[in-house]
Chains A and B, each alone.
Chain A
């Protein structure tokens, strides 16, 4: 990088690629894949109320990933210096939104904290650990690509 050159130049690959969006899309896709199993478990153990709580927690986790990735992508496109403020501000706003979504419904008859908490925490951590396997492999072997299936 030459002196005085913008960090957002094409050489840095920061404005043409959005790796966090790809990671968040992967997390969203995997969350959608496992969601039927989680919702069936919630329905079978806690009934329709548990199903609703599980669905809310699922929506919170997936929306949280997408919102986090969008904030980073938006901030990096403007300036890396904005990144710190945007990420910390985004964190506070997302926590506020999650609190605002759950506080009004927490005293409802159908609301059950167990399926909500279980889906919220285990889905969040589970999806991240699942994604970490692929990301760590990509970082270790950058040139590794999936092979195309052979035609029989």
Chain B
């Protein structure tokens, strides 16, 4: 994880020195903003699933199935943000 952060910083530093800093900053901001929405969404989905499992433990399997699909659908937004990040990155 640290090497990933270091490589990202070095890429951004190289982009800044080559005069494409704003593009790199925009890409990073875009990815960060695109990850906020799915983060909030996953929190809501998992919170609701835990609530359902606690209230009705006998239907925990149903809640977990629905939760997994909800998480996967929400993650699609983050993947779209990632693709935009790769497209914008100089």
Name B17-75 residues within 8 Å CB distance of A: 35, 38-39, 42-43, 46-47, 49-50, 53-54, 57-58, 60-62, 64-69, 71-73, 75
Check B42 against A88 for contact (C-beta < 8 Å): yes
Check B79 against A20 for contact (C-beta < 8 Å): no
Among the listed A11, A65, A96, A139, which residue makes an inter-chain contact with B62, where contact means beta carbons less than 8 Å apart? A139
| Inter-chain contact total with CB atoms closer than 8 Å | 126
Check A14 against B53 for contact (C-beta < 8 Å): yes
Q: Is B13 among interface residues, defined by CB-CB distance under 8 A?
A: no
Name B75-89 residues within 8 Å CB distance of A: 75-76, 78-80, 82-83, 85-87, 89
Interface 1/0s, chain A 7-50, versus B by CB < 8 A? 10101111001011001100000000000000000000000000
Interface size class of A (residues with CB under 8 A): 35 or more
Interface size class of B (residues with CB under 8 A): 35 or more
Task: Say how far A101's CB is from chain B's closest CB, in angstroms.
Answer: 10
Binding site of B, secondary structure by majority: helix, strand, loop or mixed?
Answer: helix
Cα distance, A121 to B78, chains bound together (Å): 10
Residues on A facing B (Cβ under 8 Å): 1, 7, 9, 11-14, 17, 19-20, 23-24, 64-65, 68-69, 72, 76, 80-81, 83-84, 87-88, 91-96, 98-100, 102-104, 106, 113, 116-117, 120-121, 124-125, 128, 131-132, 135, 139
Among all A-B residue pairs, the 5 with the closest Cβ atoms: A12-B57, A20-B68, A19-B65, A117-B83, A100-B4
